[in-house]
C-alpha cells in the first residue's frame, strides 16, 4: 500500500531548465494538491485538482503548470526554473473535498535551483 509517492526526492536544476515533479497515488482519491514549503512561510497551495481533467490555481500558481489526465497522477511542471522556486514540494490527496477529513501527504521533493 504505497499511498502517495513523489519522485524525485531531490533535484538540482539550473536557472531556466524545465522539469516535472511526479505525484502518484493508489488510494483512488479524487482531490489532489501541490504545496510548497519554505522557511518561515509554512505550506502554501500552488495548484489543486478536484478530479481527472479539472484543475485550479491556489495561492502561489505563477511559474507552475499542472494537468490531471488520470485519477492516480498529478504532475507539477516547472517550465523555466528560477531560484525563487527553490523549496520543498509536497503533494497531498484527500478522499473528500472537505479537508476536515484530513489530507495524505507524500514525503516531498527537495528542489534547488541554482
Partner 1 sequence: GDSVTQMEGPVTLSEEAFLTINCTYTATGYPSLFWYVQYPGEGLQLLLKATKADDKGSNKGFEATYRKETTSFHLEKGSVQVSDSAVYFCALREGNTGFQKLVFGTGTRLLVSP
Question: Which residues of this protein are in contact with partner 1, per CB under 8 A?
Answer: 4, 31, 33, 35, 40-45, 48, 50, 56, 58, 90, 92, 97-100, 102-103, 105-108
Least separation, in Å, of the C-beta of 51 and partner 1?
10
Q: How far is the C-alpha of 96 from the C-alpha of 34, rounded, in Å?
A: 16
CB of 17 to partner 1, least distance (A): 25
Q: Looking at beta carbons only, is 16 or 97 nearer to partner 1?
A: 97
Closer Cβ to partner 1, 14 or 40, answer by number? 40
Considering only CA atoms, give the Rg of the chain.
13
Distance CA 7, CA 103 (A): 19
Angle at 114 between CA 20 and CA 105, to 5 degrees: 40
Amino acid at each position: 500500500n504505497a499511498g502517495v509517492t513523489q519522485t524525485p526526492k531531490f533535484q538540482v536544476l539550473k536557472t531556466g531548465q524545465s522539469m516535472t515533479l511526479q505525484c502518484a497515488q493508489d488510494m483512488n482519491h479524487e482531490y489532489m494538491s501541490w504545496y510548497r514549503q519554505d522557511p518561515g512561510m509554512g505550506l502554501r497551495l500552488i495548484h489543486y485538482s478536484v478530479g481527472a481533467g479539472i484543475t485550479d490555481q491556489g495561492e502561489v500558481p505563477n511559474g507552475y503548470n499542472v494537468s490531471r489526465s488520470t485519477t492516480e497522477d498529478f504532475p507539477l511542471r516547472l517550465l523555466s526554473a528560477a531560484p525563487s522556486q527553490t523549496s520543498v514540494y509536497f503533494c497531498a490527496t484527500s478522499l473528500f473535498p472537505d479537508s476536515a477529513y484530513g489530507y495524505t501527504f507524500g514525503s516531498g521533493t527537495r528542489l534547488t535551483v541554482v
